[in-house]
Chains A and B, each alone.
Chain A
Amino acid sequence: MRAASPLRPWEDARASWALPVVAAGVAASLLGAAAGLGESAQRSAAFALGPAVLLVTLHARTAGYLHDDGLAATLPLPIPPARRFAAAGRRHALGLAWQGAWAALAFGLSGRSVAASTILVADLAVLVAMAALVEPLAAAAAAWLGRRVPAESLAGQLQRSLGGGWTLPEAVVHLWAPAAGLALAAALAMPGQLAIDRWAEGGALRAGHLEVCAAAVALALVGRVLAPRIYAGGLFDAVPWLRQAMRTLAGPPVPAAAPRWLPLFRDPALRLLVLQHQRLTPVPVLRLLMLLGAAAFLAARAQAPGLAELGILVGLVALWLVPASALTRHAADQRRLLGPLPLRDARSRAWACLLAPVALAVAPVLARIGGGP
């Protein structure tokens, strides 16, 4: 039996699936607005929106290279770095494909004509292909640069100065390397995208254009080939430093105070679940306000919501609901823990609390759609 298979359960299958929908919805709305300014302006907007959309899930799809809990837990095992790199690469490819598919859908639906949509999607495809090649290189470079180097060396001075003193020097690289990788992918995609646009506008492609495109592709391919070796050179140092940075400097172990409204829930079991949800969900109030605010806007607007707006709403619903999966994953453990206590099962009431805002948001929007334009 190959070891790659048992490693798979450690790969985080929860790679963000809701955010791509939201990002695609927002991109479709913005591209739709830009369409009114002409095809050229819309393509310019797509140039900027492509990297922005990919940036949204960058951490989720590249976390397998250096950030995952499973990676740290298995670090004492002699698993070759190449195998770890390949396992992380599968998650990266899956995440990028998912993000790319939604973005392609959004870009494709935004064009003023089939030809315009095709060009938008082709430009995006070039960017996604470059990201597929360059992002793993960025992770590998982060592993290499995340090692401890002599403090007096230029690299050591850079590590310290770039971090501003608020995280470990070895961990500083992780703040900028992933985004720099995406920026590099965008830069390398640009010759291809410009060539496509030139061709679409009826301009002739000269040998120089194709040479620049080929050079960009060659550069990305060389980086992708070298990436596993670079990764292997830094992995065993970078992961412990990153863990130390996250453990010691990621904030105090004392959580935020329980919400003042929490005692309104009289049932202790329900109160516990609500508190857990609050603690395990990043910015829960912001998520809730975004969902309700967007729903109110769509319901009150004179124009009936289109497909892109509904996509945003679905994404916001998912953003509100998905963090609850952190609780459902541990539901069996929690039942074992709470089972012997004199409590009523609060799961159905907890779900009702979670779904109530969704109903509150979706109902007026559906009513608005039913009411016609």
Chain B
Amino acid sequence: MTALPLQVRGVQKRYAARVILAGVDLEVGPGELVVLRGPNGTGKSTLLGCVCGQIVPDEGTIAIAGSDLRAAPMEARRALRALAQEVEVPPGITGREWLAFCADVFGAPAPGGTGDPQLDEVLDQLATTYSVGLRRRLAFLGLCVGTPRLFVLDEPFAGVDVDGRRAMLERLGADLRAGAGALIAAHDHELGELASLGPRVVDVRTLSPT
């Protein structure tokens, strides 16, 4: 049986006395897109941070593609593809070099191109010279190399134009059909664009039982 892309069990997180996540359970199945929504400050980014291993929960377990994030951090990270809200590409690196870096990290052959004409045109230029939207598209494509099992995307379409959003959605859809799962933090106005992928929308406030 194939392991679930994401299995979150009883995750709790406090900052000092403030409880952000209280016993969160969440599963993302193969081919499933889960959209996390909720007002600012309700724990969306904290939950994504926990899933990405950038925040350690006080209690609970997180398994990515069957690998526990703490017990088997490298195995879990090989399956994980995380796109932060603010994409930073390192200075002094071209888009092509960035993709080669990602391919190396994920143990996959370096892609010759991106299939995105606008991005292909500038692939040998420094990635820091790209527009915000292009940087985000490049970062997303870097995550698509290899065999992703779980995408964790924090507001992935911010600053991306219509064509870019369409290209990203097509690529994400292809990976979902191949059995990956996706957990996306999005605001209400972005839900319409994700509708084509048949998402399950979850309000983060309902994940923490009161």
**Partner-B contacts on A (CB < 8 A):** 1-3, 5-7, 9-10, 70, 72-73, 75-81, 148, 236-237, 240-241, 243-244, 248
Interface membership of B80, Cβ < 8 A: yes
The list of the 9 closest CB pairs from A to B, nearest first, reads A78-B77, A9-B90, A76-B82, A6-B101, A236-B73, A3-B104, A1-B100, A76-B52, A78-B78
Tell me if B70 and A236 are in contact (CB < 8 A). yes
- B81-100: contact bitstring with A at CB < 8 Å (1 yes, 0 no)? 01010001011110001101
Q: Smallest CB-CB separation from B81: which chain A residue?
A: A76
- CB-based contact B90/A6 at 8 Å: yes
Which residues of chain A are within 8 angstroms of B78 by Cβ–Cβ distance? 78
- Report the bound CA distance from A330 to B91 in whole Å: 12
Interface string of B40-55 (1 = CB under 8 A from A): 0000000001001111
B56 within 8 A of A: yes
Judge whether B197 is part of the interface by a CB distance below 8 angstroms: no
Q: A78-B78, A248-B15 are in contact. Are A9 and B91 (CB under 8 A)?
A: yes
B90 with A148: CB separation less than 8 A: no
Residue B16 at the chain A interface, CB threshold 8 Å: yes
Could you tell me if A76 and B54 are in contact, using CB atoms closer than 8 angstroms? yes
Q: Nearest CB to that of B146 among chain A residues?
A: A78
Distance (Å) between the CB of B182 and the closest chain A CB?
Answer: 15
- Contact in complex: B54, A72 (CB < 8 Å): yes
With contacts A1-B101, A6-B101, A80-B74 known, is A243 near B90, CB below 8 A? no
- B157 beta carbon closer than 8 Å to chain A: no
- Please tell me which one of the listed residues A10, A73, A78, A237 contacts residue B105 in the complex, with CB atoms under 8 A apart: A78
Chain A, residue nearest B87 (CB): A73
**CB neighbours of A80 from chain B (8 A):** 74
- Taking the nearest CB of chain B, how far is it from the CB of A186, in angstroms? 34
What are 29 pairs between A and B in contact, CB < 8 Å? A1-B100, A1-B101, A3-B104, A5-B97, A6-B90, A6-B97, A6-B100, A6-B101, A7-B90, A9-B91, A9-B92, A9-B93, A10-B90, A73-B84, A73-B88, A75-B52, A75-B54, A76-B52, A76-B80, A76-B82, A76-B152, A78-B74, A78-B78, A78-B105, A78-B106, A79-B105, A244-B15, A244-B56, A248-B15
Chain A residues, Cβ within 8 Å of B93: 6, 9
- 1/0 contact trace for B165-209 toward A, CB 8 Å? 000000000000000000000000000000000000000000000
In the complex, chain A residues whose CB is within 8 Å of the CB of B16? 248
In the assembled complex, the CB of B70 is this many whole angstroms from the nearest CB of chain A, namely: 7
Alpha-carbon distance between A167 and B88 when the two chains are bound, in angstroms: 29
- If A73-B88, A76-B82 touch, does A237 touch B56 (CB 8 Å cutoff)? yes
> Are A3 and B56 touching (Cβ within 8 A)?
no
Residues of A within 8 A of B52 (CB): 75-76
Find out whether the CB atom of A1 lies under 8 angstroms from the CB atom of B53.
no
Q: Give the residues in chain B near A236, CB-CB below 8 Å.
A: 53, 70, 73
Q: CA of A73 to CA of B89 in the docked complex: distance in angstroms?
A: 10
A77 and B105 form a contact (CB under 8 A):
yes
CA of A231 to CA of B104, assembled, Å: 22
From A1, A5, A78, A236, name the one whose CB has the most chain B CB atoms within 10 angstroms: A78
Contacts of A237 in B (CB 8 A): 56, 70
Which chain B positions have C-beta within 8 A of A10?
90
The residues of A that contact B104 with a CB separation of less than 8 Å are: 1-3
Whether B22 is near chain A, meaning CB under 8 Å from some CB there, is no
Provide the residues of chain B in CB contact with A72, threshold 8 Å. Answer: 54
With a CB–CB cut-off of 8 A, which chain B residues contact A148? 56
- Chain A nearest CB: distance from B35 CB in Å? 20
In the complex, which residues of chain A have a beta carbon less than 8 angstroms from the beta carbon of B160?
Answer: none
**Alpha-carbon separation in the docked complex, A75 to B77 (Å):** 9
In the complex, B110 has a CB within 8 A of chain A: yes
Residue of B nearest to A248 (CB): B15
B90: chain A residues at CB < 8 Å are: 6-7, 9-10, 70
| Chain B positions 110 through 154: 1 when the CB is less than 8 Å from some CB of chain A, otherwise 0 | 100000000000000000000000000000000000000000100
Does the CB pair B15–A3 fall under 8 Å?
no
How far in angstroms is the closest Cβ of chain B from A120?
40
Please give, as numbers and ranges, the residues of chain A lying within 8 Å of B92 by CB-CB distance.
9
Q: Shortest CB–CB separation between residue B167 and chain A, in angstroms?
A: 23
Question: In the docked arrangement, what's the CA distance between A237 and B56, Å?
Answer: 7
How far is B97's CA from A175's CA once the two chains are assembled, in angstroms?
Answer: 38
B54 touching A77 by the CB < 8 A rule? no
Knowing A1-B110, A236-B70, A240-B53, the reply to whether A76 touches B77 (Cβ < 8 A) is yes
- Chain A residues, CB < 8 A from B73: 236
Q: A107 vs B152: C-alpha distance in the bound complex, in angstroms?
A: 54
Residue of A nearest to B84 (CB): A73
Please measure, in the bound complex, the distance between the C-alpha atom of A41 and the C-alpha atom of B110, giving whole angstroms: 62
B98 and A6 contact, CB distance less than 8 A: yes
Residues of B within 8 A of A79 (CB): 105
B128 to chain A, nearest CB (A): 10
